[in-house]
Amino acid sequence: MRGTFITFEGPEGSGKTTQAKRLVERLQGEGRDVVYTREPGGTKTGEAIREILQYDAAGEPIADECEVLLFAASRAQLVRAVILPALERGAWVISDRFADSTTVYQGYGRGFSVEDMLSINAFAIGQAIPDLTILLDVTVASGFARLAKRTKQQNTKKDRIEQEARAFHERVRQGYLDLAARWPERFQRLDGSGPADDVEARVWECVQHVHG
Ligand code: T5A
Could you tell me the CATH number of the domain that includes residue 50?
Answer: 3.40.50.300
pLDDT at residue 1, as a whole number? 67
Instruction: Write out pLDDT tens, residues 77-101.
Output: 999 999 999 999 999 999 999 999 9
CA separation for the pair 194, 138 (Å, rounded)? 10
pLDDT at residue 138, as a whole number? 98
Contact 143, 183 (CB under 8 A): no
Q: Which residue has the least CA distance to atom 21 on ligand 1?
A: 12
How far away, in angstroms, is 16 Cα from ligand 1 center? 6
Q: What percent of the chain has pLDDT over 70?
A: 98
pLDDT at residue 210, as a whole number? 67
The tally of domains found in the chain comes to 1
pLDDT confidence tier of residue 211, bands split at 50, 70 and 90: low
How far away, in angstroms, is 1 Cα from ligand 1 center? 32
Q: Which residue has the least CA distance to atom 33 on ligand 1?
A: 15
Mean predicted confidence (pLDDT) in 163-188: 96
**Residue 107 sits in which domain range?**
4-211
Mean predicted confidence (pLDDT) in 153-177: 91
How far away, in angstroms, is 188 Cα from ligand 1 center? 18
Taking Cα atoms as reference points, which of 76, 20, 8, 13 lies closest to residue 45? 76
Average pLDDT over the chain, rounded to an integer: 95
How far away, in angstroms, is 177 Cα from ligand 1 center? 17
DSSP letters of 161-202?
TTTS-HHHHHHHHHHHHHHHHH-TTTEEEEE--S-HHHHHHH
Greater pLDDT, 153 or 136: 136
Ligand 1 atom closest to Cα of residue 97: 9
